[in-house]
Structure 1
Amino acid sequence: MTRVLVIDDDEWLARLFTRRLEHNSMVVQSAPNAIEALDLIDSFRPAVIILDLFMPGPNGLVLLHELQSYDDLGRIPVVVCTTSANDITLEQLRPYGVRLLLDKVSMHPDDIAKAVQEVAA
């Protein structure tokens, strides 16, 4: 079973993603911010991270930088899911372990499980 960590301050969306991923036989934990996410990453050891870039406190970009400072954590594939997909490119995010960039505005909820399956393969 693929272990997925969803990091998003939007509780409703995090629950929706969790349900979709669990429906696809994935083990899911969620965190509403980067600080809680770092604690969960150490204990949960996700195979994939779903990350919102813009959250209160340290944002997703700060978390990406932090993950890259550790050899083991820097290898975890990240799917960025944001409303700002038109303002940033996947090429800009690739150096930080980001494998896919999804636009929250235009995506279908089922896209999240497909994205995890793609980057976990």
Structure 2
Amino acid sequence: MPQFLALQSTATILPIALLICSNVFMTFAWYGHLNYKSAPLWAAVVVSWGIAFFEYCLAVPANRIGASVYSAAQLKTIQEVVTLVVFAGFSVFFLKQPLTINHAIGFALIALGAAFIFKSPLA
């Protein structure tokens, strides 16, 4: 495989992998404290802020690298779809909250909307 194609492939896949990892951190930062409601709110904020630092350390490079092959709208769309998938797993496995058919329908509609971002203009 020529070096250019290898770099192009890396620039296509690496941002998605980094966004998945960053979203795991961000989901724990935003929602992880819900399993520790007895902890003071200030502690939840400080811990969440610390966790979010690592999210930024992954999200910023993901967007910088991804901008070489994706538009900003495509990067944001990837991030939102990844967020939904990560959150769905987090909700079920960490928060022990079931997903319902309403969640599935809502997520499917968002995914349908996301698909339009990657299509050629309908003009």
After TM superposition, the score normalised by the length of structure 2 is: 0.28
After TM superposition, the score normalised by the length of structure 1 is: 0.28
- Structure number with the higher strand fraction is 1
- Structure number with the higher helix fraction is 2
Higher alpha-carbon Rg: 2
